Amino acid sequence: MTIVPFEAGHIEGALRLSREAGWPHRAEDWALTLSVSQGIVALRAGEVLGTALCSTFGAVSTINMIIVDARMRGQGVGRKLMQAVLDLAGAAEMRLTATVDGLPLYEKLGFAVTGQVFQHQGIAQSAAPEVPVQVDDGAADTTDVAVLAAMDTSASGLARAGLIADILREGTLLQAERGFALLRAFGRGSVLGPVVAQDAATARALIAAGASRCAGDFLRIDLSDPALASHAESLGLAHAGGGTAMKKAARPVADPATDPVAETEFKTYALVSQAMG
C-alpha cells in the first residue's frame, strides 16, 4: 500500500468507498470538495483503499472525507491517512466532524470536542418565511461574492469566497436583510447550507424559503444550532444523525462581552457540509 496525492482520477475509487460507507455523495460532490482541497489516497495495486482531504480556507483547514475500505480497518490505515493529511494542514487551526468510530482516533491526535452537528433530511414542505427572503437562481453573475464571503467569515472564521462563487455557478442564493443561505444539488436531492444570519428569526426564514423552493423533493440540512431542530422538523426534515464537531490548534474566539464588534457578527446556523464546515 502506498500513500499518494489525491487527484481527479481517484474520484471513481473514492466514490466506491463513500457508497460502501453509506454516504450519499455523488461524483460531483466529491469534485466540489476536491476543488478547494488537497488530499491523499491509500492505493494498493491501483485500487483506492482510503481517502483524506484537507480544505484550507485562510487560517483554518477542515479535515474531511476520511474513509478506509472495510477490508483494511484495524490495520492502522486510518492513522496513516490522518498523519499525512495533518501535515498538509500545517500550522492552521484544524476542524473536522467526527463519526462515532473516528472519535477515539481524533482525540488521540489532539482534537477536542467543540459541539455537535445535527443532520436533518426528508421531503421538504413549503412554509412562509417570517421575514422577507429573495431567491435568485442566476446569482453567479450579479452577486457581490465578497459581501457574502465577509458575512461567512464573520460567522465561521473561514475564508471561502472561492467556494461560495463555485456554489453560486450551479446553485441558488437565498438572501435576507440580515443573512443569506445557499442551496445546491447534493446526494439524493439538494442541501441547504451554509445558513448565515445575525439572528435566529432570519435563519428560520432562510430555511423556510429553502424548504419551500424544494417542496416535494428531498432536502438535507446540517444544523450547528440545535435550537432550530424543531423548525427543520416542521418543514419535513427529520433528524437523521449527525456528528461531533472538533478542533485542533484552535484560535481565540472574540467574546461579545469584551469585544463590541463581536456583538454584530454573523452566526453559522447550518454548515456548507459536514466536510467543509
Span 26-64, pLDDT tens digits: 999 999 999 999 999 999 999 999 999 999 999 999 999
Number of domain units in the chain:
2
Q: Which domain holds residue 41?
A: 2-91
pLDDT, position 263: 47
144 and 264 in a single domain? The answer is yes
Taking the whole predicted model, whether its pTM rises above 0.85 is answered as yes
CATH code, domain with 231: 3.40.630
- Is 111 within a domain? no
124 and 20 in a single domain? The answer is no
72 and 25 in a single domain? The answer is yes
pLDDT, position 257: 53
Instruction: Based on DSSP, count helices (H) and strands (E) in the chain, helices before strands.
Output: 8, 13
pLDDT, position 140: 79
135 and 19 in a single domain? The answer is no
- Is 165 within a domain? yes
- Among residues 157, 48, 138, the alpha carbon closest in space to that of 93 is found at 157
pLDDT, position 77: 93
- Phi–psi pair at 223, nearest 5 degrees: -80, 140
Residue 125 · residue 236 · CB < 8 Å? yes
CATH code, domain with 8: 3.40.630.30
Q: Give every residue of the chain whose pLDDT is below 70, as ranges.
A: 253-264
224 and 123 in a single domain? The answer is yes
- Is 106 within a domain? no
DSSP secondary structure of 50-67? EEEEEEEETTEEEEEEEE
155 and 210 in a single domain? The answer is yes
pLDDT, position 253: 66
pLDDT, position 259: 52
pLDDT, position 251: 81
pLDDT, position 261: 46
